[in-house]
Amino acid sequence: MRSGVFCSICILGCVVPVLSQSSPTDERDSTSTVSGHIYCADSNAPARMASVLLQPADAVDSYRPDISSRIATRAESVQTVLDGSFSFQHVAPGTYYVIASAPGYLSPLTFFSAHLGDDSRSQEALDEQIANSLPRVTVKPNTAVSVNTTLERGAAINGTVLYDDGSPASGLVVRVLVRRKDQWIPFPFTPFDKAIPLVQTDDKGAYRISGLPAREYLVEVQMNLSKVSYK
């Protein structure tokens, strides 16, 4: 009995030093803070409640303008507060893009759609546009980083959907299509393009889609009919 108790105490004594080496505090010693402000370019006002992503740069840099290509998202997201400020805590060292978006404003990554069906635009042109549109920050251990950026107001499409008898068609889904070579396809969203959602017509049949980059669009209205039977 005494020998068994003595062995248990020895085992516990060996485990405790090993656990102490994996303390979360130690893992955060080399991290930093990335903070800044987001502004609206059309009003110079703070962009309140805007979404801000801190995206590893390699995920964006590896993008290629093909319809089958997607940007793998491993980003952390925060929202700006009333003065347009944001802050990311405990950021690991590395290189990141700061990607901000808000309803009605252009997502910095919507310019990828401009390359669809345009073979004359080179990868070098896309890389240059990324460099000019996205703030890029390099995070070093225990060194805070500050960055400010602005959001550009996008275009908008609005209208009214009516049935053939003139009554409003409410509750219908409306989306925009873009031309890719000889066909029309849905607007090519990236995982960050939350500012251009599918919209529904209201009780008067009206709709509005905002935050669009300048280009040619086709508006598509979807009506799905269902039948429910009760027994």
Each residue of 85-114: pLDDT tens digit?
Answer: 999 999 999 999 999 989 899 877 766 655
Q: Which residue has the tokens 């502004």?
A: 39
pLDDT tens digits, one per residue of 1-54 = 444 444 333 434 444 444 444 455 555 568 999 999 999 999 999 999 999 999
| Per-residue CA distances from 89 to 60, 76, 85, 96, 148 (Å) | 22, 10, 13, 14, 17
pLDDT exceeds cutoff 80 at 152:
yes
Q: Which of 213, 215, 221, 218 is nearest to 196 (CA)?
A: 213
How far is 73 from 133, CA to CA, in rounded Å?
Answer: 18
Q: 150 burial class (0-12, 13-18, 19+ CB within 10 angstroms)?
A: middle
Domains of the chain, each with CATH number or no CATH: 28-151 (2.60.40.1120), 155-222 (no CATH)
Residue scoring higher pLDDT (114 or 143): 143
Beta pairing class for 199-200 and 155-160: unpaired
